[in-house]
């Protein structure tokens, strides 16, 4: 009998332990996925209840109202059309299910589903409609309007600016945009957020990752000399460098270069050779340290997963991966996170778009704090790459991003897409300034070279950030 009681006790303890583990896991998954589940289009209960609530307001980081609602619950937006268009992908639209926008992702706050019992009773006894909470974003509407003003009006693309120390996103803009007050005139595909949803080859901006792999795996990375003769034949495919025109017999050759010099001039042949020599497995391992092939589950922003290719790994594919092409697929936001980790001493912060949730009474419902997402680099490795990126701007392919008297670091990219006549122009970089800890990514699709197209836009944004640093913080 005693033995039976002991066995029952053991089984009970095991079951209780499993219950607590399940409860803890449930609490964790709700904290991570709660907003995703709640805002899902299959949540019929949430959709039905929205009509009974006056939605809360959406404000930018400086208190500018970006969305409000009347007593009937109808949304209204700022009077200035340029501000409406410039912030629409961050704020959202009641007409579109834009899954990474505030209107969609923070619906549980905006539509009053987190009201306390006393708050609910107060609305019931007063006979008033429930009123949702106000949401304050990290977005700077003035910066957003400026970026929209300088981006090429006839091009598609994306611009994202963030504070690399905290992860706060100051602007996330996708082009073409649309006016949330007139969605009937929205261009096709404009509801897509190209900052977070568009996955494309990053071009030479991926050389930040390949260079990190080389620094980690070559003991003599500082003195090793690579040879670029302009052509690297791999079966039926040839790795070439920018400016090469085989039909005209014109071949760009960099000759003998160090890793730092190859990064500065963005030598495809060198980075292709590095990928082949170090090997696909080690290059993929480095890429995965930076978040490739991970399932992004950030607290307040939805980002499509980036992928490092796992199949068809021929020598030609591995070589072109090292140079930023092949089947690499990455979002602009993720490339900005990679640059941010270099700027931030090897620490990659989780991207944030939410500062606070405030009840109608003024009580603070929730404040989101900064959080480390990954540590892909040591501080020493980050400092080396920072120096490489500084060289790109002072004397390499990114000189058009330079700002007088300020330390700008960056990497250009010109990513080839088979269906396009031109390349996608990329620039990722940051200000190495203690008073202005900002990183950015600029992508202009089907536009040409990153150094000639994206870098000048980055320079103007950096200038705005320096001038308005106190407002942007």
Q: What is the DSSP letter of 99?
A: T
* Coil vs helix vs strand at 131: strand
- What pLDDT, on the 0 to 100 scale, is given for residue 22? 55
| Mean pLDDT along residues 115-143 | 87
Give the per-residue pLDDT at 30: 44
**For residue 42, what pLDDT band results from cuts at 50, 70 and 90?**
very low
Please give the average per-residue pLDDT across 325-338, as a whole number. 97
Is the preceding peptide bond at 330 cis, omega within 30 degrees of 0?
no
| Low-confidence winner among 92-101, 225-234, 356-365 (lowest mean pLDDT) | 92-101
Could you tell me which residues come within 8 angstroms of residue 318 by beta carbon, excluding any fewer than 6 positions away?
275, 276, 279, 280, 283, 326
Q: Which of 274, 215, 199 is nearest to 239 (CA)?
A: 274
Say if residue 339's pLDDT is above 50.
yes
Other C-beta atoms lying within 10 Å of the C-beta of residue 155: 15
Give the pLDDT mean for 122-128.
77
21 or 173: which leads in pLDDT: 173
pLDDT at 424: 95
Reply yes or no on whether the pLDDT at 305 is more than 90: yes
pLDDT at 70 over 60: yes
Q: Are 69 and 52 in contact (CB under 8 A)?
A: no
Q: What is the mean pLDDT of residues 55-78?
A: 94
What is the per-residue pLDDT across 241-283, written as a single tens digit (0 to 9) for each? 888 888 888 998 999 999 999 999 999 999 999 999 999 999 9
The one-character DSSP state at 190 is: T
- 32 has a pLDDT exceeding 60: no
* pLDDT given for residue 417 in this prediction: 82
Cα–Cα dist 201/189, whole Å: 20
What is the per-residue pLDDT for 36? Answer: 46
Contact (CB, 8 A) for 437 and 147: no
Residue 224: what pLDDT? 95
Residue 426's φ and ψ, nearest 5 degrees, are -120, 145
Distance CA 114, CA 412 (A): 45
CA distance 90 to 468: 21
> How far apart are the C-alpha atoms of 222 and 345, rounded to whole Å?
19
- Give the number of other Cβ atoms within 10 Å of residue 467's Cβ: 11
How far is 193 from 184, CA to CA, in rounded Å? 18
pLDDT-above-70 percentage for the chain:
88
- Please work out, in degrees rounded to the nearest 5, the angle formed at the alpha carbon of residue 359 by the alpha carbons of 182 and 134: 20
d(CA 53, CA 112): 7
Q: Strand 157-163 and strand 408-415: pairing? A: unpaired
CATH number of 203-350+373-472: 3.40.710.10
- Strands (E) in 2-80, as ranges, are 53-54, 58-59, 65-69, 75-76
The answer, yes or no, to whether residue 469 has pLDDT greater than 90, is no
What integer pLDDT is reported at residue 183 of this predicted model?
86
> How much is the average pLDDT of 366-385?
95
Residue 292 has pLDDT above 90, yes or no: yes
**Rounded to an integer, what distance in angstroms lies between the CA atom of residue 273 and that of residue 292?**
21
Residue with tokens 């006839």: 154
Helical residues (DSSP H) of 116-245, grouped into ranges: 117-126, 141-150, 207-217
Q: Which residue has the higher pLDDT, 317 or 117?
A: 317
What is the value of pTM for the model shown? 0.89
CA–CA dist 68, 239 (Å, integer): 53
- Residue 14 pLDDT class (50, 70, 90 cuts): low
Banded model confidence at residue 129, pLDDT cuts 50, 70, 90: confident
Kind plus residue range of the DSSP H or E element containing 387: helix 379-395
Residue 78, both tokens? 């700022």
Q: How confident is the model at residue 37 (pLDDT cuts 50, 70, 90)?
A: very low
Question: Mean pLDDT score of the chain, rounded to an integer?
Answer: 89
Residue 470 has pLDDT above 80, yes or no: no
CATH 3.40.50.300 corresponds to the domain 47-152+164-185: no
Q: What residue segments make up the domains of the chain, in order of their start?
A: 47-152+164-185, 203-350+373-472
What integer is the mean pLDDT of 420-432?
Answer: 93
Q: Give the residue with greater pLDDT, 176 vs 17.
A: 176
464-469 CB contacts, 8 Å cutoff, 24+ apart: 464/143, 464/146, 465/143, 465/161, 465/431, 465/436, 465/438, 466/403, 466/406, 466/431, 466/433, 466/436, 468/142, 468/143, 469/435, 469/436
Q: Is the pLDDT of residue 220 over 80?
A: yes
Q: Identify the weakest region by mean pLDDT among 33-42, 222-231, 396-405.
A: 33-42
Residues in contact with 446: Cβ distance below 8 Å, sequence separation at least 6, in sequence order = 155, 156, 417, 420, 421, 422, 423, 424
Question: When comparing pLDDT for 435 and 126, which is higher?
Answer: 435
- Torsions phi, psi for 284 (to 5 deg): -65, -40
Q: Does the structure show a pLDDT above 60 at 294?
A: yes
Q: Could you report the per-residue pLDDT of 341-369, keeping only the tens digit for each?
A: 999 999 999 999 999 999 988 889 988 88
pLDDT tens by residue, 151-202: 999 999 999 999 999 999 999 999 999 999 998 889 988 999 999 999 999 9
Can you give the C-alpha Rg of the chain in angstroms? 25
Which residues are within 8 A (CB) of 398 and not within 5 positions of it... i.e. 6 or more apart?
Answer: 392, 410, 411, 412, 427, 429, 450, 451, 455
pLDDT of 212 > 80? The answer is: yes
Residues above pLDDT 90, as percent of the chain: 71
């Amino acid at each position: 009998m005693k033995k039976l009681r002991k066995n029952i006790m053991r089984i009970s303890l095991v079951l209780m332990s499993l219950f607590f583990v399940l409860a803890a896991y449930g609490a964790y998954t709700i904290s991570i996925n709660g907003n995703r589940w709640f805002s899902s289009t299959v949540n019929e209960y949430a959709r039905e209840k929205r009509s009974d609530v006056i939605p809360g307001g959406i404000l930018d980081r400086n208190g500018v109202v970006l969305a409000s609602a009347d007593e009937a619950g109808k949304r209204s937006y700022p009077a200035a059309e340029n501000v409406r268009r410039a912030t629409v992908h961050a704020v959202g639209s009641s007409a579109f299910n834009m899954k990474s926008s505030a209107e969609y992702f923070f619906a549980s706050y905006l539509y009053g589903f987190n009201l306390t019992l006393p708050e609910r009773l107060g609305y019931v006894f007063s006979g008033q409609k429930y009123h949702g909470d106000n949401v304050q974003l990290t977005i700077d509407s003035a910066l957003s309007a400026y970026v929209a003003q300088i981006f090429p009006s006839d091009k598609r693309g994306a611009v994202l600016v963030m504070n690399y120390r905290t992860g706060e996103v100051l602007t996330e803009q996708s082009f073409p945009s649309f006016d949330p007050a007139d969605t009937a005139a929205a261009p096709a595909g404009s509801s897509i957020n190209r900052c977070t949803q568009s996955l494309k080859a990053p071009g030479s901006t991926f050389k930040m990752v390949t260079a990190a792999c080389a620094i980690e795996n070559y003991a003599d990375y500082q003195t090793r000399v690579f040879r670029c003769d302009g052509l690297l034949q791999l079966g039926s495919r040839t790795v070439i460098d920018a400016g090469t025109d085989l039909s005209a017999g014109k071949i760009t050759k960099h000759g003998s270069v160090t890793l730092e010099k190859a990064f500065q001039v963005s030598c495809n042949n060198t980075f292709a050779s590095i990928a082949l020599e170090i090997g696909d497995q080690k290059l993929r391992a480095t890429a995965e340290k930076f978040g490739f092939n991970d399932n992004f589950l950030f607290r307040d922003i939805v980002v499509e997963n980036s992928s490092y290719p796992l199949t068809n790994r021929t020598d030609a594919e591995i070589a072109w991966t090292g140079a930023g092409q092949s089947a690499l697929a990455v979002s602009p936001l993720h490339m900005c996170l990679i640059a941010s980790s270099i700027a931030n001493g090897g620490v990659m912060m989780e991207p944030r778009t939410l500062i606070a949730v405030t009840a109608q009474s003024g009580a603070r419902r929730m404040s989101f704090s900064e959080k480390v997402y990954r540590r892909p680099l040591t501080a020493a490795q980050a400092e080396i790459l920072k120096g490489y990126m500084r060289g790109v701007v002072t004397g390499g392919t990114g000189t058009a991003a330079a700002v007088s008297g300020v330390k700008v670091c960056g990497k250009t990219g010109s990513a080839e897409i088979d269906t396009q006549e031109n390349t996608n122009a990329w620039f990722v970089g940051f200000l190495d300034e203690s008073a202005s800890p900002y990183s950015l990514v600029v992508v202009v699709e089907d536009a040409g070279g990153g150094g000639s197209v994206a870098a000048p836009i980055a320079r103007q944004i950096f200038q705005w950030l320096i001038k308005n640093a106190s407002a942007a913080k």
